[in-house]
Chain A
Amino acid sequence: DAGVIQSPRHEVTEMGQEVTLRCKPISGHNSLFWYRQTMMRGLELLIYFNNNVPIDDSGMPEDRFSAKMPNASFSTLKIQPSEPRDSAVYFCASRTAGASSYNEQFFGPGTRLTVL
């Protein structure tokens, strides 16, 4: 299995530009998570999908952030317009089943975003 795939691995953009991060979860997993990691705030959950439906988006910082999961094998996280404070590493994770507390999450390699 290829694991969780994220693209691009690195993104450098200018303030005000639209940024789209992509994630392909592990085949057969029906839960998907987007996280953001910064030095100041650590690793934070942004949004959680179950069976392609957003269940909890309370971690999305503001309306500039949006996430979609059009099918079980693809998700996007979009920032429009981007700001320098959005610079971070964004991780996607997936897991099987529903809300069980003992199903581990598998993380992708992350996308390092730099907004100038």
Chain B
Amino acid sequence: DAKTTQPNSMESNEEEPVHLPCNHSTISGTDYIHWYRQLPSQGPEYVIHGLTSNVNNRMASLAIAEDRKSSTLILHRATLRDAAVYYCIPTSGTYKYIFGTGTRLKVLA
């Protein structure tokens, strides 16, 4: 399983973009990169995933480096409801998600 490195915490002002980085230098060629987030006192929820190309959905965008050794989750306009722990999870094509310590995002009003 690919090892990930994420900053322990980040802060953002409300209504501003947030870029959450993740390093996964040992990722294999077939690993998808998933992002989940966990809001306070809730279970994790899916945010986005990708393989090689940048991806967009209603929640966020995912920018994947050309060498795939890193990726960045982009929240275009952070709201107070986006305050959560964000997990970057390279998956090896199986069911097993390895949740690391994630990045705790604090959004300031």
B interface vs A, CB < 8 Å? 30-32, 34, 42-46, 49, 91-97, 99-101
Contacts and interface: CB of A to CB of B under 8 A. Distances in A.
A33 B49 contact: no
A4 B49 CA distance: 21
Main secondary structure of the interface of B (DSSP, over half): loop
Contacts of B30: 101
Given A42-B99, A42-B101, A101-B91, A109 B46 contact: no
Nearest to B42: A109
Chain A interface: which size bin? 20 to 34
A107 B73 CA distance: 21
Contact of A109 (B43, B96, B97, B99): B43
A105 B97 contact: yes
Given A101-B92, A101-B94, A102-B32, 5 more contacts: A42-B100, A93-B44, A99-B94, A101-B91, A104-B34
A80 B99 CA distance: 27
A45 interface: yes
A19 B44 CA distance: 23
10 contacts: A4-B43, A43-B99, A45-B97, A48-B96, A56-B96, A101-B31, A101-B32, A105-B44, A107-B43, A107-B44
